Chain A
Amino acid sequence: MPLDKFFDWFYTLFGLKKTVRLGIYGSVNTGKTTLANRISKDWTGQEVGKASPIPHETRFVQKKEKIHIKHRGKNLTINLLDMPGIATKIDYRQFLKYGLSKKAARQRAKEATDGVIEAIKWLNNVDTVLAVMDATQDPLTQVNVTLLGNLEARKIPVIIVANKIDKRRADPDAIRDAFPQYPVVEVSALKGKNVGQLYEVIAKHAKGAK
């Protein structure tokens, strides 16, 4: 593992690294999979996973490898990693409201807790992170603060994606005010609004981007 990190550092230092591992992180139901699907469909025509209004739909890391992004003369190859949502609590009872049986809800909760652990472990294996936040919600949550603090401590470049701007209550400026030290791109992953701007920022800020 330390050897992997050394080679990683070496390749990045000399600009030899060709593929960027782009992790999509955030709280639950912020639209991470919708964004991953949007990016993947734009460049490969294929989706990464299923998005759903039921919390913790993504319970395993979903990958789409070798996505070639070309935007305004910049080329970037990414391995897209759609992460399970990070949470500090998972109660199986919340899934009963969506019509799941008790057994299915318990199973989903178990998989969701494993998914959070897996997402956290992957923090050591991403080059750049899209931190997705729901622009209709208060951004100053402990999950967001902890996630950004960890990325900063690991020196991983972060782009905050203020998602769901198609909704009336969306307030992307609240995200900018809460985290002024990070680039913030406001998008609607669902409608595809401003995604071009996101590619531009990824090409500019991603570790290993040329």
Chain B
Amino acid sequence: MKPQKIKFDFVSSATLDEKPKSLRINFILNKVKNGTILVTDGVLKPEEEIDLIKETMRRVDDGFPGIEVASLKKPAKGMLNFVEKMADQKEKIQSLFAGLAGQTFEKTSMRTGLTLIGPARFIKKVKKNPNSFSVLAEV
């Protein structure tokens, strides 16, 4: 029997940060739906992660039952916490002005951390701990 293969793509958070929100989710799901496990040195914001789940549900079919996600966010303390809060406020203000102008604000940056997103047909189990996670995949 021919051994099956799994492809891992390690993508920098800077690459994902460059993309507007909708394109970022599209980029992730296109890779994962093709069977790739994506790993990045960043964490999606909760609002974006729930959008990822929503978009995944729209794409579920017989060959793609969905995704498994595991992430570890670097605890935001001291200066990092301040910087993240300021960045959030800046994005909220930009989003507000974009909304007033009838536009959609699409630029958000990821948080510091680690994320793995893979196809549920390969990833059978994710065990999360506060400071680590392990992933069991099967082909």
Contacts and interface: CB of A to CB of B under 8 A. Distances in A.
A89 B70 contact: no
Q: Bin chain A's interface residue count.
A: 20 to 34
A146 interface: yes
A153 B88 CA distance: 10
Interface string A96-123: 0000000000100100011011001101
Given A91-B65, A116-B57, A120-B54, 4 more contacts: A89-B60, A109-B60, A149-B45, A150-B49
Nearest to A113: B57
A202 to B, nearest CB: 24
A138 interface: yes
Interface residues of B, number: 26
B77 interface: no
B58 A113 contact: yes
A56 to B, nearest CB: 12
Contacts of A181: none
For the residues of A in contact with B, the DSSP-based class is helix
Interface in B5-58: 45-47, 49-50, 53-54, 56-58
Question: How would you classify the secondary structure of chain B's contact residues: helix, strand, loop or mixed?
Answer: mixed
Name the residue among A106, A109, A117, A142 with the largest chain B CB count within 10 angstroms. A142
A116 B67 contact: no
Interface of B: 45-47, 49-50, 53-54, 56-58, 60, 62, 65-71, 120-121, 126-130
A160 B118 CA distance: 28
Contacts of A88: 53, 56, 66-69, 120
A138 B60 CA distance: 25
| A-B interface, 6 closest residue pairs, ranked by CB to CB distance from nearest | A89-B66, A149-B46, A91-B65, A89-B120, A113-B57, A140-B128
B71 A117 contact: no
B120 A146 contact: no
B65 A142 contact: no
Contact of B66 (A90, A106, A121, A141): A90
A90 B130 CA distance: 26
B69 A153 contact: no
Contacts of B68: 88-89, 142
A142 B70 contact: yes
18 contacts: A86-B53, A87-B53, A87-B66, A88-B56, A88-B67, A88-B68, A88-B120, A92-B65, A113-B57, A113-B60, A117-B57, A120-B54, A140-B130, A145-B71, A146-B46, A146-B50, A150-B50, A178-B130
